[in-house]
């Protein structure tokens, strides 16, 4: 069996920026164990698989795997999948409906950007959090902690996010993914995302984190249209919109390579 593999840099307009995703289109699903082994072999934060949908409410079914586990939502790999469909595989319609573990995700092409309609995951404030959380984030001073799927940790300024040096061993013991965020200087807000519990110490640009960040910052800043920067070494730009029950995230992609897997 031969499979095509595309590597796409997502949420960036230049090569070696944004978040690289491995995209593997399928005609039909292969076994879950094989998808997991392929993700481990690729050793990127996400390998994404999609197949033509069997039900009329979607165009494709989509699944995402880190090197260690399947996850329920991934933005950059969805963006990369849409890029492959629009620009490589010749998908001719302006919108793609992906059926996923987080419901229907609609992705549209808008000039040089691709926009994704995702669920809004509004995090709730925590009155208490583990003392080890600040230590795991390099002994920083925490302003507040909220939670939906992940810990959302706000700090006082952008430089604290940029300069944070996490202890990933301790963070893994906490058993939680962690979003670190602050109000931005040139962007409305900035963030970094750490997920050592699923084999990704730091994810370069993270759509699922922005499902939580967008409602948080939209409410805090009193605005629905926001521009976000993820401050990983590779960096990434996300144009955001808060729509109540949903959020949209728009970004650009750059083609890096095509390969063939021989199984």
Which CATH number does the domain housing residue 84 bear? Answer: 3.10.310.10
Per-residue pLDDT at 263: 94
Distance CA(126)–CA(144), nearest Å, equals 8
Q: Of 32, 41, 46, 260, which one is the catalytic site residue?
A: 46
Q: 35 and 129 in one domain? A: no
d(CA 239, CA 66): 25
Tens-digit pLDDT profile for residues 4-30:
999 999 999 999 999 999 999 999 999
Do 144 and 238 belong together in one domain?
A: yes
Tokens of 29: 């699903």
184 and 192 Cβ atoms separated by less than 8 Å: no
Q: Return the percent helix, strand and coil in the chain, to nearest 5.
A: 25, 40, 35
Q: Which domain holds residue 16?
A: 2-110+252-262
- My answer on whether 12 and 106 are in the same domain is yes
Q: Which of 181, 178, 250 has the alpha carbon at shortest distance from 221?
A: 181
Mean pLDDT for the stretch of residues 84-102: 97
Mean pLDDT over residues 91-118, rounded? Answer: 96
Asked if the structure places residue 69 within a domain, the reply is yes
Domain count, the chain: 2
| Residue 261 φ then ψ, to 5° | -95, 130
Residue range 56-61: mean pLDDT, rounded: 97
The rounded distance, in Å, linking the Cα atoms of 39 and 42 is: 5
Residue 222: CB atoms within 10 Å: 7
Average pLDDT over residues 34-41: 98
**Residue 23, beta-bridge partner list:** 6, 48
Helix, strand, or coil here: 139?
coil
* Same domain for 91 and 180: no
Q: What is the pLDDT of residues 210-225, one digit of tens each?
A: 999 999 999 999 999 9
Counting residues of the chain whose pLDDT is more than 90, the rounded percentage is 99
Mean pLDDT value across residues 49-60: 96
| Residue 46 annotated to the active site | yes
Buried b (16+ CB within 10 A) or exposed e, 5-34: bbbbbbbbeeeebbbbbbbbbbeeebeeee
Average per-residue pLDDT for the chain = 97
Residues 26 and 76 in one domain: yes
Residues 90 and 135 in one domain: no
CA 174 to chain centre: 21
Residue 119 is assigned to a structural domain of this protein? no
CB count in 10 Å sphere of residue 128: 6
pLDDT value, residue 111: 86
């Amino acid at each position: 069996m031969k499979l095509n593999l595309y590597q796409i840099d997502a949420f960036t307009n230049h090569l070696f920026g944004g978040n690289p995703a491995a995209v593997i289109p399928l005609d039909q699903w292969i076994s879950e164990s094989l998808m997991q082994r392929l993700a481990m072999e690729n050793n990127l934060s996400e390998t994404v698989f999609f197949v033509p949908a069997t039900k009329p409410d979607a165009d494709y079914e989509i699944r995402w795997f880190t090197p260690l586990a399947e996850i329920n939502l991934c933005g950059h790999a969805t963006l990369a999948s849409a890029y492959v469909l629009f620009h490589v595989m010749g998908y001719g319609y302006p919108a793609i409906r992906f059926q996923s573990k987080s419901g229907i995700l609609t992705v549209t092409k808008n000039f040089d950007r691709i926009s994704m309609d995702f669920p809004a995951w509004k995090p709730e404030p925590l009155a208490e959090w583990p003392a080890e959380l600040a230590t795991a984030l390099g002994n920083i001073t925490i302003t507040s902690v909220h939670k939906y799927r992940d810990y959302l940790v706000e700090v006082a300024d952008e430089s604290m996010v940029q300069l944070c040096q996490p202890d990933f061993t301790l963070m893994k013991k906490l058993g939680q993914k962690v979003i670190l965020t602050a109000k931005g200087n040139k962007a409305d807000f900035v963030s970094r995302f750490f997920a050592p519990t699923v084999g990704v110490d730091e994810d370069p640009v993270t759509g699922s984190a922005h499902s939580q960040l967008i409602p948080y910052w939209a409410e805090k800043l009193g605005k629905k249209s926001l521009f976000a920067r993820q401050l990983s070494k590779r960096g990434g730009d996300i144009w955001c919109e808060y729509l109540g029950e949903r959020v949209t995230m728009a970004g650009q992609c750059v083609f890096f390579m095509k390969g063939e897997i021989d199984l």
